[in-house]
Amino acid sequence: MRVVLLTGIWPPDVGGPATHGPDFARFLRDRGHDVRVVTMGDAEPTERPVPVTTIARGKPFVVRYPLVATTGFRLARSADLVYATATYAAAAVAATGRPLVAKLVSDPAYERARRYGVFTGSLEDFQQASGAGVTTLKRLRSTALRRARRVVVPSRYLADIATGWGLDPSRVEVLVNPAPPPQTVEAEPLDPGTLVFVGRLTEQKGLPVLLEALRRVDGAKLVLVGDGPERERLTSLAAQLDLDGRTKFTGSLPRDEVLRYLSGATAAVLSSSWENLPHSAVEALAVGTPVVSTAVGGVPEVVHDRENGLLVPPDDPEALAAALAEVLGDDELRARLAAAAQPSVAAIGRDAVYMRLETILREASA
């Protein structure tokens, strides 16, 4: 197959799609397929398993987004299909005359509504919301995704939401994010009691709640791996909470280093206000590290309370602090959760998930 992959982020960016893109492109390349990537970025790509065209994220949106669409359209003229992990409206244009497969990792209308300040409630409440701005964003999202022959989602939670947008349920398939292959990861040497967060530093991740929870747990330290628009605000907040000596912001790191940090952590932590199914949770479990997370979106589909991690309500620093204190202070509990972590994701290995995704692309392009 000749595949054009459209994605919103790419290494050195950090996040699930930035992990998935190069990894799946490499898998397809090794299986004999031709893959070309169109993405957006602030810097040159740090991974190029296949040819990558980057549209500068610093360009105004009204310039940047059409460039993604037209660049994808040009490449798709000699391709069998377009596979999009974001930029769905641009992908629908790029795929004119070609099949489109979309990997849905969130509700893009909700993300934009939050970013533009036209809606501030929960993802679930957004599905029933109305108003001129909200309705327009929903219409654009649904029109683009209805163009796709197949829509792949990592969680049953998001699949149920997506079918409410008028998408044909027979075209929607749940395919979880793959766990890294079983391997011995050299752990980053971290102080005892160190928690690790991995992800984009965005409003969605609820990191002010995490910092407030950290303040309440004596002796706990936190490493935040990733970058994003909230970094400056979060570093300032850490200083205000007198956490300078207990927090470390690493910025974006290569995936091998991310796994080292997760392996060296006493526990991985996620404080998201809303989620689909964060890839970092799967990665943490795959290297044998228990996860303390908010019970949002599809997270409970992989993090099972008191089996391989602990779950707490979102936006509740007191509950999160109590869970962190428990996992740090109870050696027996932590050992039991860690022992169950890797086996809990053994069935969602890279090859099995990617071979199914390859089959979906083949079927769509037929």
State yes or no: pLDDT of 183 exceeds 80: no
Q: What are the tokens at 75? A: 């490449």
> What pLDDT was estimated at residue 220?
97
Domain with residues 194-348, CATH architecture: 3-Layer(aba) Sandwich (3.40)
Phi, psi of 21 (to 5 degrees): -55, -60
> How far, in Å, CA of 323 to CA of 214, rounded?
11
Burial classification of residue 170, based on how many CB atoms lie within 10 Å of its CB (0-12 exposed, 13-18 middle, 19 or more buried): exposed
The amino acid sitting at 356 is: R
Q: Largest alpha-carbon pair distance within the chain?
A: 59
Six-digit token string for 256: 């091998």
At residue 302, the pLDDT reads: 95
For 109-133, the pLDDT digits (tens) are 999 999 889 998 889 999 999 988 9
Is residue 14 very low, low, confident or very high in pLDDT (cuts 50, 70, 90)? confident
pLDDT at residue number 192:
94
Question: Helices 279-286 and 331-344 sit at what angle, rounded to 10 degrees?
Answer: 110
What's the CA angle centered on 149, arms 143 and 155, to 5 degrees? Answer: 85
Percent over 90 (pLDDT), the chain: 86
2-178+349-365 under CATH 3.40.50.2000, yes or no = yes
Contact 193, 265 (CB under 8 A): no
* Count of helix runs (H) and strand runs (E) in the chain: 14, 13
- DSSP secondary structure string for all residues of 163-197: HTTT--GGGEEE-PPPBPPS---------TTEEEE
Q: Which amino acid is at 353?
A: V
Q: Does 160 have pLDDT greater than 80?
A: yes
d(CA 269, CA 249) in angstroms, rounded, equals: 14
pLDDT tens, residue by residue, 195-254: 999 999 999 999 999 999 999 999 999 999 999 999 999 999 999 999 989 999 999 898
Instruction: Tell me the chain's radius of gyration from C-alpha atoms.
Output: 20
* Mean predicted lDDT score pLDDT of the chain: 94
What residue segments make up the domains of the chain, in order of their start? Answer: 2-178+349-365, 194-348
**pLDDT tens column, 352-365:** 999 999 999 999 99
Beta-carbon contacts of 64 under 8 Å, excluding residues fewer than 6 positions away, are: 40, 55, 56, 57
- The residue ranking higher by pLDDT, 185 or 336, is 336
Chain-centroid distance, C-alpha 223: 18
CA–CA dist 196, 267 (Å, integer): 7
Q: What is the pLDDT at residue 3?
A: 98
Cβ count near 116 (within 10 Å): 11
Q: Is the pLDDT of residue 182 over 80?
A: no
The confidence score (pLDDT) of residue 87 equals: 93
- Domain 2-178+349-365 and domain 194-348, same fold? Reply is yes
What is the predicted pLDDT for the residue at 144? 94
Mean of pLDDT values over 278-293: 95
This prediction has a pTM of: 0.85
Within 10 angstroms of residue 282's Cβ, the number of other Cβ atoms is 23
Torsion sign over Cα 60, 63, 67, 68: positive
CA distance 136 to 103: 22
